[in-house]
Structure 1
Amino acid sequence: MNQLASTVKPEQDFKEKTTKLIDSLKAICANFGLGNDGNEFKIITQLFLYKFLNDKFAAEAKKQFPDVTNAKEWEAKIDSLSDAEFEKMTMRMNPNTATLKPIHFISTLYQLQNTENFAQRFDDTLADIAAINQDVFAVKTDGGAKIVLFDRLSEYIADPTKRDEFCKAAINKLIDFSFEHIFEQKFDFYAMIFEYLIKDYNSNSGGKYAEYFTPHAVARIMAEILVPKSVRGEIRNATCYDPSAGSGTLLMNVAHAIGEDRCTIFTQDISQKSSNLLRLNLILNNLVHSIPNVIQGNTLLHPFHRDGNTWKQFDYIVSNPPFKLDFSDIHKSLEAKAYQTRFFAGVPKVPKSKKDSMAIYQLFLQHIIVSLKPTGKAAIVVPTGFITAQSGIDRSIREHLVNNKILAGVVSMPSNIFATTGTNVSILFIDASNKSDVVLIDASNLGEKVKEGKNQKTVLSDDEEQQIINAFNQKTAIEDFSVVVSYEEIAAKNYSLSAGQYFDVKIEYVDITPEEFQQKMQTFTQNLDDLFSQSHELEAEIKKQLAGLRYE
């Protein structure tokens, strides 16, 4: 118990220090007029990333000079290496480590902070780090351009006379903090830090392409069902894909379940901001090897990941596709013949009103189905209306899943599981190897309602999450919660994937005497007579009021 406490406390202390660092960087932005500015998230995330990469390099370098403990001594040791010796040293480092030279160290900038044109030196340092590491750390666009690690951050300060002071303030915050003793922490630890880091920049208030942060409960349920504990450790060289990846919450959970060193991630997302956040998430979670597969671009119009002339297929696909995104400007292109093989159920019409604007998810869903290997598995968040719609593309997709026997099941989630949208959602699970029974779960009655800002959110307990996972993975039928049905039964029910339509209808019988029956009937009759009487009185009053109306 004492050993556990001694482990937990340093971890908790470090989390508190990390959140304090993030808050202090936000305070610097506010003090220089960048609070709530559109570029604030770039400054915060890139300063945080610079610090992380600096300390990661330092930790790896110190391993190679175990006899040197003083910071200045090991930095001097590195500085004295020849180019060949330096290259040999970096090759021995963990491959997740960015290459830095002594002139790039935070400690070097700290010592030079009072020199002339410090802001330019600061920006040049970040630009040099980005250039040296672009082959591994650069995100690509679907047109082939590279989005490098760092911008020239001081240039976001409108007043040039304040740029030196801004960079000095940042360096003085970074120098007093160190990641070096925490790099062995795993996914759960960094998930908390990452969510705190981006919480102000990853909401539905950010404009047209802002993403909705996928709740951890949804991400965990997806990962636990796609990668059950019984198969973990057996999976090798898995490919994991998300065509609308956002900042990567779903992929991080799946990669963690498989093992970060046992899988490679592939993504695409239209948002440059989200792609940059995803890159940071990959760096934090030892998935640097997947960064070259992060693509910023329009998945529907320009799907980047391909095998020759066709779409690349993957072992695992997860997605929380956009429900409400205008695609009128690309609709004609999507309807073009070149795209028809991908959208087998058709391209939806452009919705006439915002109320009907959820059709775009149908395109992502079809893209996912054709991007899945014959042995692959997928989990996709869909609006709950998808599972029962009796016409159109929704129905055609469900028929395809059932008739081709590639459906694993559906979990209908509680309302408001997403605090930022009122849309009821379900999780659709596809398994190309599942040729037998399908699991349908109605979890809509689970969870506790809590307030999150101005919104109401439903939060599942750990036990409720496990209840869903166990019922699905064990294919267990539970009264008024889960059913296990055949493909033939689903077809007979008009391809409905709603668990409630398969629950047994129960009629409870109660023994009563003839006298009790007569008494109940008299009560019902009396109540009905009272209602009729009230209705007649209302009719008379309405007619009286109408008769009193006069035209003037």
Structure 2
Amino acid sequence: MSEDQKKQLESQLWNIANTLRGKMGADEFRDYILGFIFFKYLSEKMHLYANSLLTEEDITEFTDIDETSADGKEMLEAIEEESVANLGYFLYPSELFHALAKKGAQAKDNFILEDLTKVLKHIETSTQGSDSEDDFEALFEEIDLDSSKLGKTVNQRNDLIAKVFTHLDAIDFKLDDVEADVLGDAYEYLIGQFASGAGKKAGEFYTPQQVSTILAKIVTADKQSGERTLKSVYDPTCGSGSLLLRVAKEVEDVDGFYGQEMNPTTYNLARMNMILHDVHFSRFDLRNEDTLEHPAKEHADLRFEAIVANPPFSAKWSASTIHETDERFSDYGKLAPKTKADFAFVQHMVHHLDENGTMACVLPHGVLFRGAAEGVIRKYLIAERNYLHAVIGLPANIFFGTGIPTCILVLKKNRHGVDSKTDDVLFIDASQGFEKVGNQNQLRTEDIEKIVSTYTARESLEKFSHLATRAEIEENDYNLNIPRYVDTFEEEEPVDLSAVADELVALENEMRTTNETISGFCKELGIKTPFKHE
């Protein structure tokens, strides 16, 4: 698919999404349109898979199977078994998106809301008792077809949904093109569009693509030559799952995707996003719970090769004394403050980082210099563990819903140089590299490339980066504020005082001439001069 065709698809989907807008906020009609797109995806996937099983049967088209006949039922039973085992779910021919869209487009007998409710429920129940059950459980619970926001009457709601289905049905998602992730890219585009309209809430589910790209390239920097398979990637605050999927674009393959998300709506979106990007249900394990207070038991003993995260900035958490014996926090001597959980997320991630892994997370600038408990934790990570690998300062106003400047912390457990253990830290000040687009600042391609190449080379560049020794950091009492290490001061050009004096004399003479002219005019008019004329 060409770039123009891709943009056309994105535009089509966004226009259909706006059909649902009505009185809803961006985060509300997002759940409907993304859920319907996902249902269409599951339908087309099911259709293609079923047809692949029927190549040697008398009936070679899934939708031609008679669901009421004995032979048809037997055939569908066999297809269901294969489909649940391989796709993770099952749909009957009459339950496919196209069948509902076709019925909704009829002049008469076009009521589809009841059918749609049953179909979405059946997708979930078809997985019960199978390995994919957790991945499909309550997946469509945010789609409330009885909501008055879809229309005051049931017929109005039906007409609106039928209209959306008709428009979506006309779009070819090209799922048979295994080389292109057309729908996946379009889905990411829509998530980004919804984030731009969701204001402060956007931070709950979306990291700007430019920042995601930097994080993904950093944690896969060691994979750019040789073995390009990543064993595992983890995001403890995974939102819509976009960051995890961005990492996958930087390598040839990822064996396992892991994540945790507290918001149930966003958690559903993340699971849809995974499946829609053709990540098999056996390759991802996402959990819906508070990462700090209730870390997933299924992840407790796991260590990950790559960790990426954009945790909620300075979130509140319990900081309960019970956490003092939690192995994630117990070695540091202090817990992160109740009102600022930033370092609690860092500690959680460090705990789950594999010995040869890399983690990169976005945090507010305050983590670099705030004292008290945060200063103790920061010093422990550097002086006792030597985990801090790089600090990258980003421009202000690049995140949705907040204009604060942010930074990226990069940590590694196994930091070895060519001849000895590395204990220096790379500081990068990328705060000035951006372009303004609307109300947001955005990193350009060249800005991203400069950050990543400097990180990879670990080089000091004038007014941009500095490779600081442990002694320098100790001298600064483990304060990591970037201006202490990267001098971006621009010296002003020297002022030529003689030239300034000459300009002042010339100005004085010009003013005297002007005053004399005005005085002459006043004298001719017989009025008082507005100033004392010498």
Shift of 1:401: 2.2
Is the partner of 1:200 in helix, strand or coil?
Answer: helix
User: Aligned partners of 1:86, 1:386: CA distance in 2, in Å?
Assistant: 57
Indicate the residue corresponding to 2:16 in structure 1.
24
Indicate the residue corresponding to 1:54 in structure 2.
43
The within-5 A match list for 1:84-95 is 87=78, 91=82, 95=86
Q: AA paired with 1:494?
A: D
Q: Which runs of 5+ in 1 are unaligned?
A: 1-6, 352-358, 527-552
Equivalent of 1:312 in 302, 310, 313: 302
1:257 aligns with 2:226: no
1:247 aligns with 2:228: no
1:103 aligns with 2:86: no
Indicate the residue corresponding to 1:398 in structure 2.
378
Q: AA paired with 1:213?
A: Y
The within-5 A match list for 1:310-349 is 312-327=302-317, 330-331=318-319, 333=320, 335=322, 337-339=324-326, 341-342=328-329, 344-349=332-337
Residues 12, 268 of structure 1: alpha-carbon distance in 2 compared, 3 angstrom cutoff: same
User: Aligned partners of 2:157, 2:483: CA distance in 1, in Å?
Assistant: 61
1:215 aligns with 2:208: yes
1:40 aligns with 2:29: yes
Cα-to-partner distance string for 1:256-309 (whole Å, 9 max, x where unaligned): 22344x3211111111121112112212222233676211111111001456xx
1:270 aligns with 2:252: no
Indicate the residue corresponding to 2:289 in structure 1.
297
Is the partner of 2:194 in helix, strand or coil?
Answer: coil
Q: How many residues align?
A: 485
Cα-to-partner distance string for 1:293-337 (whole Å, 9 max, x where unaligned): 211111111001456xx553222111111114344xx34x46555
Residues 204, 38 of structure 1: alpha-carbon distance in 2 compared, 3 angstrom cutoff: closer
Equivalent of 1:486 in 444, 460, 469: 469
Indicate the residue corresponding to 1:387 in structure 2.
368
The within-5 A match list for 1:180-191 is 180-181=174-175, 183-186=177-180, 190-191=184-185
Shift of 1:96: 4.9
Q: AA paired with 1:448?
A: E
User: Aligned partners of 1:393, 1:377: CA distance in 2, in Å?
Assistant: 24
Q: AA paired with 1:370?
A: H
Is the partner of 1:449 in helix, strand or coil?
Answer: strand
Identity %: 21
Is the partner of 1:293 in helix, strand or coil?
Answer: strand
User: Aligned partners of 2:145, 2:298: CA distance in 1, in Å?
Assistant: 39
Residues 388, 348 of structure 1: alpha-carbon distance in 2 compared, 3 angstrom cutoff: closer
Indicate the residue corresponding to 2:118 in structure 1.
124
Indicate the residue corresponding to 2:521 in structure 1.
none
User: Aligned partners of 1:500, 1:151: CA distance in 2, in Å?
Assistant: 46
Residues 203, 345 of structure 1: alpha-carbon distance in 2 compared, 3 angstrom cutoff: farther
Deviates more, 1:73-82 or 1:280-289: 73-82
The within-5 A match list for 1:150-549 is 153-157=144-148, 159-181=153-175, 183-186=177-180, 190-197=184-191, 199-200=193-194, 205=199, 211=204, 213-228=206-221, 230-231=223-224, 234-236=227-229, 238-260=231-253, 262-289=254-281, 293-306=285-298, 312-327=302-317, 330-331=318-319, 333=320, 335=322, 337-339=324-326, 341-342=328-329, 344-351=332-339, 359-389=340-370, 391-403=371-383, 404-434=385-415, 435-436=421-422, 437-451=424-438, 455=439, 457-503=440-486
User: Aligned partners of 1:38, 1:479: CA distance in 2, in Å?
Assistant: 44
Is the partner of 1:273 in helix, strand or coil?
Answer: helix
Q: AA paired with 2:64?
A: A
Contact 1:387-1:496 at 8 Å conserved across structures: yes
CA RMSD of aligned residues (A): 4.0
Residues 306, 235 of structure 1: alpha-carbon distance in 2 compared, 3 angstrom cutoff: farther
Cα-to-partner distance string for 1:209-261 (whole Å, 9 max, x where unaligned): 9626312111111111211275456154612111111112221111222344x
TM-score by length of 1: 0.76
Shift of 1:411: 0.9
Shift of 1:398: 2.2
Residues 447, 53 of structure 1: alpha-carbon distance in 2 compared, 3 angstrom cutoff: same
Contact 1:25-1:173 at 8 Å conserved across structures: no
Contact 1:335-1:347 at 8 Å conserved across structures: no
Residues 85, 40 of structure 1: alpha-carbon distance in 2 compared, 3 angstrom cutoff: closer
Contact 2:427-2:466 at 8 Å conserved across structures: yes
Contact 1:380-1:428 at 8 Å conserved across structures: yes
Q: AA paired with 1:441?
A: I
Q: AA paired with 2:248?
A: A
Cα-to-partner distance string for 1:96-154 (whole Å, 9 max, x where unaligned): 574322121123334544448642122111211221135565557xxxx9433456642
Shift of 1:348: 3.8
User: Aligned partners of 1:161, 1:507: CA distance in 2, in Å?
Assistant: 66
Shift of 1:49: 0.7
Is the partner of 2:378 in helix, strand or coil?
Answer: helix
Is the partner of 1:417 in helix, strand or coil?
Answer: coil
Contact 1:109-1:122 at 8 Å conserved across structures: yes
Cα-to-partner distance string for 1:319-378 (whole Å, 9 max, x where unaligned): 111114344xx34x4655554752635334444xxxxxxx12122122112221222210
Is the partner of 1:316 in helix, strand or coil?
Answer: strand
Q: AA paired with 2:42?
A: L
Indicate the residue corresponding to 1:549 in structure 2.
none
Deviates more, 1:109-118 or 1:51-60: 109-118
Indicate the residue corresponding to 2:139 in structure 1.
148
The within-5 A match list for 1:47-86 is 47-64=36-53, 73-77=61-65, 83=74
Residues 386, 35 of structure 1: alpha-carbon distance in 2 compared, 3 angstrom cutoff: closer
TM-score by length of 2: 0.78
Cα-to-partner distance string for 1:435-483 (whole Å, 9 max, x where unaligned): 31432111112112232xxx3x222221221111111101122111112
Q: Which runs of 5+ in 2 are unaligned?
A: 416-420, 505-534
User: Aligned partners of 2:37, 2:278: CA distance in 1, in Å?
Assistant: 16
User: Aligned partners of 1:506, 1:427: CA distance in 2, in Å?
Assistant: 22
